[in-house]
Structure 1
């Protein structure tokens, strides 16, 4: 869980700062995923009181946006100075799609959490799905 918090802290891309509209669309989707993870992280870490409705809503939004990830990366475009996607993403498109699907599935699993333990059990795999993709495909 600490690794997930560190991962969140390292994610500093501003929403939609790119000039390229394809890159900007990616930043918007990924930014919405990140903002919802930031809503869940304090709950999972015990830094905020558990709120089932808030956790469920955030997980559901992450799942919704995760489903959009392959679509916003369809166009190979990473020459914008704000682009953070590696060429490997498009070179390994099937793997990238699998990783996006894993994020969606992990977030869907959390969309019905009703306890702190359930939240913590769902948060780890979701954060792991983020990390596995970012490790390989993000600058």
Structure 2
């Protein structure tokens, strides 16, 4: 039994160490990833409402859109430093096509701002569709 516990403890430590190595150590990349995680979490909140997994909540939807708009506005600053990292999904095309990248970030901000006033499930559905199109347009071209 003691040997089994030791094997389990070793596996846990190695697994944790492997996970820790998978995170970027570069502060620029960490800030980008944190912003994208915030966008993702808020997009998930909206998606669950659209799918009916959670009840429509106008205040929560408006807050999620506003949060996404805020993070989208930060994107050009977050990506100013041309820093690549094996743990990042950012494609080199970001810096090679900077103006287009910034325009797509602006389109995301615009879509999120338009959704920040949703007041019905129908309005949410339309705004969420526009938001997803903006996300997809950028990710298709600039995410690995």
Counterpart of 2:59 in structure 1 is 53
Stretches of 4+ aligned residues off by more than 2 angstroms: none
TM-score (norm. length: structure 2): 0.83
Counterpart of 1:3 in structure 2 is none
Counterpart of 1:34 in structure 2 is 40
Counterpart of 2:96 in structure 1 is 91
Q: Which runs of 5+ in 2 are unaligned?
A: 1-21
Tell me how far apart the structure 2 counterparts of residues 49 and 32 of structure 1 sit (CA, whole Å).
Answer: 21
Deviation of the 1:48 alpha carbon? 1.6
Counterpart of 1:114 in structure 2 is 119
Larger % of helix: which? 2
* Structure showing greater Rg: 2
Aligned-residue CA RMSD (Å):
1.1
Question: Which aligned pairs between 1:16-35 and structure 2 lie closer than 5 A?
Answer: 17-35=23-41
Instruction: Single out whichever of 114-123 and 42-51 deviates more from structure 2.
Output: 42-51
Question: How many residue pairs are counted as aligned between the two chains?
Answer: 123
Tell me how far apart the structure 2 counterparts of residues 29 and 112 of structure 1 sit (CA, whole Å).
Answer: 22
**Secondary structure of the residue that 1:40 maps to in structure 2?**
helix
Deviation of the 1:17 alpha carbon? 2.5
